[in-house]
Amino acid sequence: MDPSTKLVFDSPLLRVHHDGRVERFYGTETTLPGFDAVTRVSSKDVVVDGATGVFARLYIPDHLLTAEHKKVPILVYFHGGGFVVDSAVSPAYHRYLN
């Protein structure tokens, strides 16, 4: 049997193949970073580890972009679920974090 066709896991959300390939059937939409005129928040992606492609999305309120040397609180949001369904750049999370 061809390893690419043998399934390790199969569900309505995703399918994992024996060769490590994953097919996701839900939560694959992404939102590009940028300025949100409604919330006046800018977002930007920063690569944390180039070898693995791990990145973080930074959200910066518009009024802080012009402030000099101003200390601001930082909120760190970790997306749960192991990035099996959706991701930190999914439209729902992006809107929520903006």
Each residue's pLDDT tens digit, 13-46: 889 998 888 888 877 788 999 999 998 999 999 9
Residue-range domain boundaries for the chain: 1-28, 31-97
User: How is the chain classified by DSSP, letter by letter?
Assistant: --TTT-EEEE-SSEEEETTS-EEESSS-------EETTTTEEEEEEEEETTTTEEEEEEEEHHHHS-SS-----------GGGSSS-TTSHHHHHHH-
The whole-model pTM stands at 0.67
Q: What pLDDT sits at residue 28?
A: 79
